[in-house]
Amino acid sequence: MSKKKYILILVILMVLGVKAQNTIEVNCQNLFLSGTNLAWNQFSGDVGFGTNPNLTYFDNFFSEVKASGGNSVRWWLHTDAAFTPEIQTSGNITGLHHSLTNQQIIDQIKDVLDAAWSNNVLVNISLFSFDMLQDPTAKSWTDINYDGNLAFLKSSTNVQSYIDNALTPMVNGLKDHPALMSWEIFNEPEGMTSEFGWTPVRISMADVQMVVNKLTGAIHDADPEALVTNGTWSMLANTDKNISSNVNQKNYYSDAALIAAGGSDNGTLDFYQVHYYDWQSSSISPFHHPASYWELDKPVMVGEFHAAEAESLMTGFGYPVNATYDYLYDNGYFGAWGWQYKESTLWNAIEPQIKHMNVTNGSVIALDKDACNTAGISDFGLGSISVFPNPSVHKIQIKGLQGLGEVLVYSIDGKVIINEALENNQLDVSQLASGMYYLRISTENGSVSKKMVKE
């Protein structure tokens, strides 16, 4: 069976009366994502810097995560775009590298993913970072094209050049790799914005939203089952709940906000990822509030935090030593990646917390490589069910059903558009307006959620 990975979209779960989830469905399993940020070995140059990535380093890294009981990691790829992709001063992107072919770069990424999978570890690939607009004079290499980065971020035409010449080939080349769990568009893009940022030159949050929408849409176009997120620097930019006096505070990454900024109906995130450090007040801290507090329309995880800082909070709340990950799991977050492995003092604080989570909640962490091959149709995930063609114009065919089924089709704002019994495992969607929809497919053995794009 081909790899299946999708998330039970919280919009649908809310309609069905289900509370915020603290696991995500990946490769036919419901998992709490327990792990760490690498985030890099060679900053922005783990691929494209030489002929091959340092696979010995990566294998050691993944094996340590596995030994601690972790199941997933966050790895930065382009970062400041010093080595990948190839950005011209105009902002146009011609490919993944200035001298290596796209396939060579893809093969280097595959080598890293192979090392992860051999150690039973899943990988979230983070594409770009706010470092694109950090002052390049302080950096020891000369390959960063600062002007090109700025021009890229502000132009939808240049963004499309990245989609056509780099991103889509990369997604197509990697989408069937079992270790690839999710894509992340930006690490903390708010840091390079006029609304929140600290870089010398800044763009607007509208520019960030445009890029996130278009790149997410392109990933979903190439791989409809891909999970896509964004690494948000603070909850200030990820909730509409009134939590701050900051006039710029709102959820910039809701479906409606992203579609309005970039125009891609398929360019909406599958889950939210927020970061926390102790400069943040308790009013915006995931360690002071359950996931439900933020009133979000998607599941949320904590993608960066200092483990030692968080542990001091947890023990103050009455949790035992090293129970930070347990706290997030208990409070409705579906994952935790401490910052970071590269610095040994930070990893030394993260590792015992991952181990503690493995001891206390091992059943929601253990990654079974063969889950998709052994999952029966009676399993809740119904991992064998697929929808095609997707995108669709007239009718969709639903494969993998055993017995009679029915389908609910939801708009992106959670309204039921279609509620029908399936005939011959087909559904007429010709009357739907163009855009993205969520399908809830049910049989007597369970139900499953899928995305569908109507052209």
Question: Tell me, what's the pLDDT at 437?
Answer: 78
Do both 292 and 166 map to the same domain?
A: yes
Decide if pLDDT at 379 tops 50: no
Question: Tell me, what's the pLDDT at 412?
Answer: 54
Rounded to whole angstroms, the Cα distance separating 258 from 217 reads 10
The per-residue pLDDT for range 16-32, each reduced to its tens digit, is 333 457 999 888 889 99
Residues with Cβ within 8 Å of residue 18, at least 6 apart in sequence: none
Phi, then psi, of 336 in degrees rounded to 5:
-150, 125
- Which helix (H) or strand (E) segment is 213 a member of? helix 205-222
Do both 281 and 390 map to the same domain?
A: no
Percent of the chain past pLDDT 70, that is, above it, reads 88
Do both 220 and 309 map to the same domain?
A: yes
Nearest to 116 by CA among 299, 367, 322, 317: 367
Higher pLDDT, 209 or 408: 209
Which stretch of 31-35, 306-310, 315-319, 334-338 has the lowest confidence by average pLDDT?
A: 315-319
**How would residue 40 be classed by pLDDT, with cut points 50, 70 and 90?**
very high
Do both 56 and 143 map to the same domain?
A: yes
**How would residue 430 be classed by pLDDT, with cut points 50, 70 and 90?**
confident
Do both 284 and 427 map to the same domain?
A: no
Q: What is the mean pLDDT of residues 1-30?
A: 54
Question: Tell me, what's the pLDDT at 134?
Answer: 92
Rg of the chain over Cα atoms, rounded to whole angstroms, equals 21
Rounded to whole angstroms, the Cα distance separating 135 from 447 reads 51
For residue 448, list its beta bridge partners. Answer: 441
Q: Distance from CA of residue 425 to its chain's centroid?
A: 31
Give domain status of residue 1, yes or no.
no
Question: Tell me, what's the pLDDT at 450?
Answer: 75
Please answer whether residues 254 and 209 qualify as being in contact, where contact means their C-beta atoms are separated by less than 8 angstroms: no
Do both 198 and 324 map to the same domain?
A: yes
Rounded to whole angstroms, the Cα distance separating 304 from 329 reads 15
Give how far Cα 118 sits from Cα of 57, 179, 222, 450, Å: 14, 9, 26, 29
**How would residue 240 be classed by pLDDT, with cut points 50, 70 and 90?**
very high
**CATH value at residue 181:** 3.20.20.80
Do both 394 and 436 map to the same domain?
A: yes
Percent of the chain past pLDDT 90, that is, above it, reads 71
Question: Tell me, what's the pLDDT at 138?
Answer: 66
Which stretch of 4-18, 301-315, 402-416 has the lowest confidence by average pLDDT?
A: 4-18
Q: What is the mean pLDDT of residues 298-319?
A: 95
Give domain status of residue 69, yes or no.
yes
Question: Tell me, what's the pLDDT at 242?
Answer: 97
Q: Assign 39 to helix, strand or coil.
A: coil
- And the tokens for 235? 């909850």
**How would residue 265 be classed by pLDDT, with cut points 50, 70 and 90?**
very high
Which stretch of 172-181, 239-248, 312-321 has the lowest confidence by average pLDDT?
A: 312-321
Mean pLDDT of the chain: 89
Please answer whether residues 364 and 54 qualify as being in contact, where contact means their C-beta atoms are separated by less than 8 angstroms: no
- And the tokens for 106? 């893809």
Domain end among 348, 372, 396: 372
Decide if pLDDT at 95 tops 90: yes
Q: What is the mean pLDDT of residues 272-289?
A: 96
The amino acid at residue 16 is: L
Tell me the CA end-to-end span of the chain in Å, nearest whole number.
28
Q: Distance from CA of residue 231 to its chain's centroid?
A: 8
Question: Tell me, what's the pLDDT at 3?
Answer: 39
Give domain status of residue 4, yes or no.
no
Domain end among 372, 397, 421: 372
- And the tokens for 186? 């930006």
**CATH value at residue 406:** 2.60.40.1930
pTM for the predicted model, two decimal places: 0.81
- And the tokens for 269? 């995130």
DSSP string, 226-260: --EEEEES-GGGT--S---S-TT-S-TTSHHHHHH
**How would residue 376 be classed by pLDDT, with cut points 50, 70 and 90?**
very low
Phi, then psi, of 113 in degrees rounded to 5:
-65, -35
- And the tokens for 226? 């891909």
Do both 359 and 438 map to the same domain?
A: no
Please answer whether residues 385 and 425 qualify as being in contact, where contact means their C-beta atoms are separated by less than 8 angstroms: no
The per-residue pLDDT for range 334-370, each reduced to its tens digit, is 999 999 999 999 999 999 999 999 999 999 999 998 8
Question: Tell me, what's the pLDDT at 60?
Answer: 98
Question: Tell me, what's the pLDDT at 251?
Answer: 99
Phi, then psi, of 429 in degrees rounded to 5:
-115, 15
Rounded to whole angstroms, the Cα distance separating 14 from 412 reads 12
Domains held by the chain: number: 2
Do both 349 and 433 map to the same domain?
A: no
Domain end among 324, 350, 372: 372
Give domain status of residue 239, yes or no.
yes
Beta strands 335-338 and 33-37, pairing class: parallel
The total of other beta-carbon atoms located within 10 Å of residue 338's CB is: 28
Nearest to 216 by CA among 187, 238, 185: 185
Give domain status of residue 323, yes or no.
yes
Question: Tell me, what's the pLDDT at 422?
Answer: 75
Range of the domain at 277: 24-372
Decide if pLDDT at 402 tops 90: no
Which stretch of 23-32, 346-355, 409-418, 436-445 has the lowest confidence by average pLDDT?
A: 409-418
Higher pLDDT, 416 or 140: 416
Do both 352 and 388 map to the same domain?
A: no
Residues with Cβ within 8 Å of residue 325, at least 6 apart in sequence: 32, 34, 336, 353, 354, 356, 357
Q: What is the mean pLDDT of residues 205-217?
A: 99
Please answer whether residues 263 and 234 qualify as being in contact, where contact means their C-beta atoms are separated by less than 8 angstroms: no
- And the tokens for 207? 């520019």
The per-residue pLDDT for range 107-165, each reduced to its tens digit, is 999 999 999 999 999 999 999 999 999 987 766 665 789 999 999 999 999 999 999 99
Give domain status of residue 151, yes or no.
yes
Rounded to whole angstroms, the Cα distance separating 242 from 260 reads 22
Question: Tell me, what's the pLDDT at 451?
Answer: 73
Do both 149 and 220 map to the same domain?
A: yes
Give domain status of residue 176, yes or no.
yes
Rounded to whole angstroms, the Cα distance separating 89 from 93 reads 9
Do both 312 and 412 map to the same domain?
A: no
Q: What is the mean pLDDT of residues 306-325?
A: 94
Beta strands 405-410 and 416-421, pairing class: antiparallel
Give domain status of residue 208, yes or no.
yes
